[in-house]
């Protein structure tokens, strides 16, 4: 078929050039066979059994370090080559979904908690349990809580690539100058009092997960023992969601909540444009940002010169109940792999090998293996040491296992949540209406799944 | 000039070699040549690449997507046929769908005419070739080259920010403005319209290259008749440009309704879905909510809408498009 | 009289220049930002001129990703854009001539098919196209990015050239036919030279579109060493952690250069095309 196509193509081109009364010449004719030749070699190489692929999203540093670690593995295991495929976050998921449709997802994939449930339910990831049992994959140094983050319905489908936890970043310099201190485990009342005080003293406002409310709502509701998603319905009652939205209405009334118009002028979700580090006046800026512990490095880097970033827990009606450890991302094995055994070995190498982690240097978060984390700790910079301290001392003693991963339909529910939040902040809804719109709408979405 | 016939010979020799071997009597060859040079055969041969390309590269994917539009499909699992469910849901149970239709019509119907008028004006201004107009043309075309890059997204938000360039300019001219252009439901769409108009380069290029097709002799004749610049424009340039205007109109209408990048990189539909383009909504459904079947249905409804509008445009063609040849 | 014309010229240039400056302002902003320290790009977004000119962004950017330098990405993009553009321009001209000048069975159908193929959003065809190219065994290669263009699948270009050919007097064809020229030689010897401006316009567009296209590269190219520039540029950003906007702007600045150079070189042919010779009266 391929050959015939190529022939046909050259044929058409030949006609095109010959038709030119013998005079016209198209350079295209010569270019075409070249393409075919070059691309055929790629196809041939792909059939090679010793060739694995691993895909991930990330930045320049991650791309370089991960590929270097993979190359090290290939060096130690002659006959094996591992090709790294990296993309930008949203591109990554488009590509992965498309290749899933084509039954050809890479051997090793970086996974996120947001997507894991759907990939597992559609049989796209390999259950790692057998490999753990036969010791191909060593998880002896990983805590049960951490392993639980990659467990779906009894099967282990993902290994934590870096531990992190929700963390609120704040402008420590600003608060120090005004004699305000922030303690860990803030309750909502304490948090709001703080917001009021800071607004009065400095004019800086507060930004509360505008446009990205999903994770915080989940965290918030844990304090009331409400799990966001039930079986084809939402957890709790519509009344249980009112306190969350009331926080916004109070903030709007008292003036300390940042104006929603500000978020139309930035890219929501981009660290560099978070109102905490980006803005021209206190009026459009926030003293804090809801983030994850592993983002401390990025936020500190993005902060204006002279600003030190502090880190504490997210406020919650009951912070110790809300707190949990999670994985910044996972490593999983794609179900279409031809060499699962080898892929698992690579995974084991990335998780447990000191050599590999000396290259990776905890770029994805605190290493899952406590042994590796201990080894790496002295080599890390002060910011990463602070992250390890936060995870070990602030969160670990006061946390419970994370909620089950989000089911199919969750992303639509979250979109609805952010739309309701937008209506609320623009003053179209009050807290009760927002809770009702969200609860009913979300239930409808879930019931159709 | 001498339109020689020598050139056509090798072409037929290819065919004669293939079909009948090296020896052919003169008559047979002549009849084959006549067959190949029949208008209908020639048309068939010339359009063959597209015919193949259309059936091989377009029909299959288009057919598949039409099939998906009748399915529950989430990319990760195989599609399940559900009949017209997606279409019914769209028209009975989806407020956002109606909202995006409104936004998209507004955007297309405002930005397309503006863009064309700008493109035509600039093409006329830069038509005269001097050494410097080349650089001017490049300058006016540049915005279309940078297209949908991240830099444009960031800058556009900066420009229309509350403390951005636009408000600063307004303040300079005496209006005390700190208007949140991007945060207001009525003005946010206009920032996207301005972006679309700003990138008028491609229509401008097409106008430039067709202006050349207008024979200089016509202008000379008009000048002899004593027609001024303005009357030359209305009597010669404009009528002879109508086919190109029509072409640009059709293409830009299609592009306008399928606009994606402006919204996707800058507003993402904010605020309150007031800038949510149809295609972006379709993209969200397909790749963010994994309602890919529904996304496909949305696409086919858009195809019907654009198809209908294009049909209307073609129906009006004979009333205003000059077809007399030069 | 003469001074009046001089004045008019000056006003013309001032207006065109001034407006042109507004047009290219974003570009200047991007170039200037690429010389800023990456941490100050956002904090000083309001200022055009960097406080301190640095070249580090170009150095980090050029280094590329995981041992593949940006020079490789540029080479890949050139290959794809040039080869696909040649295909699309010539095949479209070929098809356009047939549709514009010959009456034959199926002509109307093809014309409608061409228009219809432009009306489906590219995003919705992503998955079906991927599945189809996978059936053909083309995934993981440049084939899906190049071969279809040799079959004139971009209706826009066909229609553009049809429109152009319609503007060429039929008398030329008729005269040639009487001289015994076949349709094929008319196309090669008369049409091709006459539609040069349209072909140049198409080349400019096609090169630029192929250069910017990242969606198909994302889906069909797997090896990072085969990424084109458009795809590589996006790798500088990672919303979850930090993005290197400095390096991104530096490479984005370089990446628009080819299109700009091609445009500046080709633009004069748009209006001064070879057509002048054959087309008067």
What are the residue ranges spanned by the domains of chain B?
8-48, 95-320
Distances (CA, A) of A8 to A2, A3, A15, A19, C80: 10, 8, 10, 16, 20
Distances (CA, A) of A192 to A174, A256, A417, A423: 17, 9, 22, 21
Q: What angle do CA B303, B308, B309 make, to 5 degrees?
A: 100
Of A83, A99, A270, the CB nearest to C239: A270
Alpha-carbon distance of A78 to A72, in angstroms, equals: 11
Alpha-carbon distance of C48 to A220, in angstroms, equals: 43
Alpha-carbon distance of B292 to B79, in angstroms, equals: 9
DSSP H stretches of helix in A123-225: 129-133, 144-148, 172-177, 188-202, 214-222
Alpha-carbon distance of A310 to A292, in angstroms, equals: 12
Report which of C66, C31, C82 is spatially closest to residue C74, judged by C-alpha positions: C82
**Cα B181 from chain centroid (whole Å):** 28
Of B33, B282, B303, the CB nearest to C123: B282
Question: Is A272's CB within 8 Å of C242's CB?
Answer: yes
Q: State the pLDDT at residue A305.
A: 86
Provide, as residue numbers in chain C, all residues whose Cβ is less than 8 Å from the Cβ of B295: 124
Question: Is A53's CB within 8 Å of C222's CB?
Answer: yes
> Which tokens sit at B212?
């050349």
Task: Kindly tell me if the per-residue pLDDT of A98 is higher than 90.
Answer: yes
Report the residue of chain C nearest A28, measured CA to CA. Answer: C86
- Please give the average pLDDT of every successive group of 10 residues along chain C, which has 281 residues: 78 88 86 88 81 91 89 95 96 95 92 92 90 93 95 94 89 88 90 89 92 90 92 87 87 91 83 46 33
Q: State the pLDDT at residue A300.
A: 92
CB pairs under 8 A between B and C: 312
- The radius of gyration computed from the CA coordinates of chain A, to the nearest angstrom, equals 26
> Which tokens sit at B324?
């007399």
Query: What is the per-residue pLDDT across A233-265, written as a single tens digit (0 to 9) for each?
Result: 999 999 999 999 999 999 999 999 999 988 988
Burial of residue C13 (number of CB atoms within 10 Å: 0-12, 13-18, 19+): middle
Over residues A366-381, the mean pLDDT reads 90
Query: What is the per-residue pLDDT across A189-206, written as a single tens digit (0 to 9) for each?
Result: 999 999 999 999 999 999
Question: Is B213's CB within 8 Å of C129's CB?
Answer: no
Among A23, A26, A101, A265, the strongest candidate for a mutation testing the B interface, having the largest count of B CBs within 10 A, is: A265
| DSSP label of B235 | I
Q: State the pLDDT at residue A48.
A: 53
| DSSP label of A289 | E
Question: Is C184's CB within 8 Å of A5's CB?
Answer: no
Residues A99, A106: contact at Cβ < 8 Å? yes
Q: State the pLDDT at residue A120.
A: 95
Report which of B210, B192, B194, B201 is spatially closest to residue B122, judged by C-alpha positions: B201
Cβ-count burial A31-61 (b if 16+ within 10 Å, e if not) = bbeebbeebeebeeebeeeebbbbbbbbbbe
Roughly what angle, to the nearest 10 degrees, separates helices B39-53 and C107-116?
A: 30
> Which tokens sit at B65?
């997507």
Of C60, C146, C218, the CB nearest to A94: C218
Residues C39, C226: contact at Cβ < 8 Å? no
Helix (H) or strand (E) holding B149: none
Span C57-277 CATH architecture:
Orthogonal Bundle (1.10)
Report the residue of chain B nearest C207, measured CA to CA. Answer: B145
CATH number of A166-323+408-447: 3.40.190.10
**Cα C195 from chain centroid (whole Å):** 18
Alpha-carbon distance of B47 to B67, in angstroms, equals: 28
> Which residues have CB under 8 Å from B142's CB, separation 6+?
B201, C23, C24, C27, C256, C260
Question: Is A20's CB within 8 Å of B7's CB?
Answer: yes
Q: State the pLDDT at residue A38.
A: 40
Of B14, B160, B164, the CB nearest to A18: B14
Question: Is A12's CB within 8 Å of B182's CB?
Answer: no
pLDDT-above-90 percentage for chain A: 70
Helix (H) or strand (E) holding A230: none
Q: What angle do CA A163, A167, A170 make, to 5 degrees?
A: 140
Query: What is the per-residue pLDDT across A275-284, written as a single tens digit (0 to 9) for each?
Result: 999 888 898 8
Q: State the pLDDT at residue A204.
A: 95
**Side-chain half-sphere exposure of A77, counting CA atoms within 13 A:** 16
Question: Is C99's CB within 8 Å of B325's CB?
Answer: no
Distances (CA, A) of C109 to B307, B317, C102, C114: 14, 19, 14, 9
Q: What angle do CA A51, A56, A60 make, to 5 degrees?
A: 110
Within chain A, which residue ranges are assigned CATH 3.40.190.10?
A: 51-162+327-393, 166-323+408-447
- How big is chain B, counted in residues? 326
CATH number of B95-320: 1.10.3720.10
Alpha-carbon distance of A104 to A127, in angstroms, equals: 17
Q: State the pLDDT at residue A7.
A: 42
Chains with at least 3 CB pairs less than 8 angstroms from chain C: A, B
Please report the DSSP string for C207-244 in residue order: HHHHHH--HHHHHH--SGGG--HHHHHHTT--TTS---
Q: State the pLDDT at residue A11.
A: 39
Over residues A378-382, the mean pLDDT reads 88
Burial of residue A367 (number of CB atoms within 10 Å: 0-12, 13-18, 19+): buried
- Overall CATH class of domain A51-162+327-393: alpha beta
Of A31, A86, A304, the CB nearest to C86: A31
Among C18, C91, C121, the strongest candidate for a mutation testing the B interface, having the largest count of B CBs within 10 A, is: C121
What are the residue ranges spanned by the domains of chain C?
57-277
The predicted complex's ipTM stands at: 0.89
Alpha-carbon distance of C67 to C73, in angstroms, equals: 12
Please report the DSSP string for A41-98 in residue order: HHHHHHT-TTEEEEEEE--HHHHHHHHHHHHHHHHHSTT-EEEEEEE-HHHHHHHHHH
CB pairs under 8 A between A and C: 185
Distance from CA of A90 to the nearest CA of B (A): 9
Question: Is C185's CB within 8 Å of B154's CB?
Answer: no
Alpha-carbon distance of A425 to B268, in angstroms, equals: 17
| DSSP strand pairing (B80-81 vs B71-72) | antiparallel
Place of tokens 């969750």: A410
Provide, as residue numbers in chain C, all residues whose Cβ is less than 8 Å from the Cβ of A12: 91, 150-151
Phi, then psi, of C229 in degrees rounded to 5: -60, -45
Q: State the pLDDT at residue C2.
A: 67
Distance from CA of C229 to the nearest CA of A (A): 13
> Which tokens sit at A121?
């339910």
pLDDT in tens, chain B (326 residues): 333 333 344 444 444 444 444 555 677 777 888 888 888 899 999 999 999 999 999 999 999 999 999 999 999 999 999 999 999 999 998 999 999 999 999 999 999 999 999 999 999 988 877 778 888 888 899 888 887 777 888 888 888 888 888 888 888 888 777 788 999 999 999 999 999 999 998 899 899 888 877 888 888 888 888 888 888 888 889 998 999 999 999 999 999 999 998 899 888 888 889 999 999 999 999 999 999 999 999 999 999 999 999 999 999 998 998 876 54
């Amino acid at each position: 078929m391929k050959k015939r196509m190529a022939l046909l193509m050259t044929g058409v081109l030949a006609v095109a050039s010959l038709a030119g009364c013998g005079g016209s010449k198209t350079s295209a004719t010569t270019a075409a066979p070249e393409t075919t030749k070059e691309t055929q070699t790629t196809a041939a190489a792909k059939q090679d059994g010793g060739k694995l692929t691993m895909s991930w999203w990330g930045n320049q540093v991650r791309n370089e370090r991960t590929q270097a670690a993979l190359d090290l593995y290939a060096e130690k295991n002659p006959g094996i080559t591992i090709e790294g495929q990296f993309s930008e976050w949203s591109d990554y998921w488009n590509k992965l979904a498309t290749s899933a449709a084509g039954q050809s997802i890479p051997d090793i994939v970086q996974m996120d908690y947001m997507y894991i449930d759907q990939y597992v339910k559609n049989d796209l990831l390999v259950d790692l349990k057998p490999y753990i049992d036969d010791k191909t994959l060593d998880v002896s140094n990983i805590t049960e809580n951490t392993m639980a983050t990659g467990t779906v319905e009894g099967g282990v489908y993902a290994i934590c690539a870096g531990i992190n936890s929700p963390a609120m970043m704040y402008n420590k310099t600003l608060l120090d100058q005004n004699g305000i201190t922030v303690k860990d485990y803030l309750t909502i009342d304490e948090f709001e009092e703080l917001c009021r005080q800071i607004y009065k003293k400095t004019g800086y406002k507060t930004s509360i997960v505008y446009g990205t409310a999903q994770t915080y709502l989940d965290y918030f509701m844990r304090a009331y023992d409400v799990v966001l998603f039930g079986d084809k319905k939402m957890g709790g009652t519509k009344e249980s969601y009112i306190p969350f939205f009331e926080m916004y209405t109070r903030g709007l009334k008292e003036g300390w909540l940042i104006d929603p118009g500000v978020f139309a002028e930035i890219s929501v979700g981009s660290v560099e444009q978070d109102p905490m580090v980006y803005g021209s006046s206190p009026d459009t800026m926030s003293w804090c940002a809801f983030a994850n512990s592993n983002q401390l490095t990025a936020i500190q880097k993005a902060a204006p010169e002279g600003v030190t970033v502090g880190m504490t827990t997210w406020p919650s009606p009951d912070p110790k109940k809300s707190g949990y450890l999670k994985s910044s991302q996972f490593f999983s094995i794609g179900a279409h792999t031809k060499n699962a055994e080898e892929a698992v070995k690579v995974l084991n190498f990335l998780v447990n090998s000191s050599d590999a982690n000396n290259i990776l240097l905890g770029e994805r978060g605190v290493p899952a293996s406590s042994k590796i984390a201990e080894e790496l700790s002295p080599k890390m910079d002060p910011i990463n040491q602070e992250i390890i301290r936060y995870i070990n001392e602030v969160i670990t003693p006061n946390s419970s296992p994370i909620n089950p991963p989000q089911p199919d339909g969750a992303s639509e529910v979250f979109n609805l949540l952010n739309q309701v939040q937008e209506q609320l902040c623009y003053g179209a809804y009050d807290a009760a209406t927002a809770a009702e719109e969200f609860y009913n709408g979300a239930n409808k979405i879930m019931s159709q799944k | 000039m001498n339109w020689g016939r020598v050139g056509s010979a090798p072409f037929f020799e290819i065919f004669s070699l293939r079909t009948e071997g090296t020896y052919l009597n003169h008559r047979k060859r002549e009849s084959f040549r006549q067959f190949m040079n029949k208008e209908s055969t020639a048309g068939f041969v010339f359009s063959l690449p597209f015919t193949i390309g259309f059936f091989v590269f377009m029909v299959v994917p288009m057919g598949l997507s039409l099939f998906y539009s009748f399915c529950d499909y989430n990319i990760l699992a195989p599609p399940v046929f559900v009949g017209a469910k997606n279409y019914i849901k769209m028209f009975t149970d989806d407020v956002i769908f109606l909202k995006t239709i409104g936004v998209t019509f507004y955007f297309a119907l405002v930005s397309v005419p503006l863009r064309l008028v700008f493109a035509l004006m600039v093409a006329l201004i830069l038509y005269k070739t001097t050494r410097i107009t080349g650089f001017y043309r490049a300058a006016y075309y540049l915005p279309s080259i940078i297209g949908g890059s991240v830099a444009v997204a960031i800058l556009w938000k900066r420009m229309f920010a509350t403390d951005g360039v636009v408000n600063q300019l307004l303040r300079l001219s005496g209006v005390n403005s700190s208007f949140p252009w991007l945060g207001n439901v009525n003005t946010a769409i206009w920032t996207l319209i301005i972006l679309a108009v700003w990138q008028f380069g491609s229509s401008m290029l097409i106008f430039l290259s067709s202006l050349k097709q207008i024979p200089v002799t016509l202008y000379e004749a008009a000048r002899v008749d004593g027609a001024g610049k303005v009357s030359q424009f209305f009597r010669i340039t404009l009528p002879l440009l109508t086919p190109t205007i029509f072409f640009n109109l059709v293409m830009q209408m299609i592009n306008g309704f399928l606009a994606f990048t402006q919204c996707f990189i800058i507003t993402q539909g904010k605020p309150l879905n007031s800038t949510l383009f149809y295609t972006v909504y379709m993209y969200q459904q397909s790749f963010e909510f994994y309602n890919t079947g529904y996304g496909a249905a949305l696409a086919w409804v858009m195809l019907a809408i654009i198809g209908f509008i294009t049909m209307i445009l073609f129906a009006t063609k004979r009333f205003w498009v000059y077809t007399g040849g030069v | 009289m003469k001074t009046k014309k001089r004045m008019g010229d000056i006003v013309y240039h001032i207006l065109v220049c001034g407006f042109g400056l507004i047009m290219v302002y974003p570009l200047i902003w991007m170039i200037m930002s690429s010389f800023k320290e990456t941490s100050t790009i956002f904090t000083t977004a309001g200022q055009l001129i960097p406080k301190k000119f640095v070249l580090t962004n170009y150095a980090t950017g050029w280094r590329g990703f995981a041992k593949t330098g940006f020079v490789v990405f540029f080479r890949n993009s050139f290959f794809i854009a040039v080869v696909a553009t040649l295909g699309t321009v010539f095949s479209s001209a070929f098809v356009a001539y047939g549709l514009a000048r010959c009456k034959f069975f199926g002509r109307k159908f093809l014309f409608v098919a061409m228009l219809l193929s432009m009306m489906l959003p590219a995003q919705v065809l992503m998955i079906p196209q991927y599945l189809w190219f996978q059936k053909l065994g083309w995934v993981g290669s440049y084939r899906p990015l190049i071969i279809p263009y040799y079959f004139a699948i971009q209706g826009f270009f066909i229609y553009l050239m049809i429109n152009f050919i319609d503007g060429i007097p039929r008398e030329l064809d008729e005269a040639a036919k009487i001289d015994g020229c076949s349709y094929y030689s008319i196309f090669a010897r008369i049409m091709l030279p006459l539609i040069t401006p349209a072909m140049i316009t198409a080349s400019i567009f096609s090169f630029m579109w192929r250069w910017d296209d990242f969606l198909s590269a994302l889906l069909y190219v797997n090896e990072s060493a085969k990424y084109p520039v458009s795809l590589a540029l996006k790798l500088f950003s990672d919303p979850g952690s930090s993005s290197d906007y400095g390096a991104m702007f530096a490479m984005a600045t370089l990446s628009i250069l080819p299109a700009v150079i091609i445009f500046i070189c080709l633009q004069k042919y748009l209006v001064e095309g070879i057509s002048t010779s054959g087309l008067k009266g």
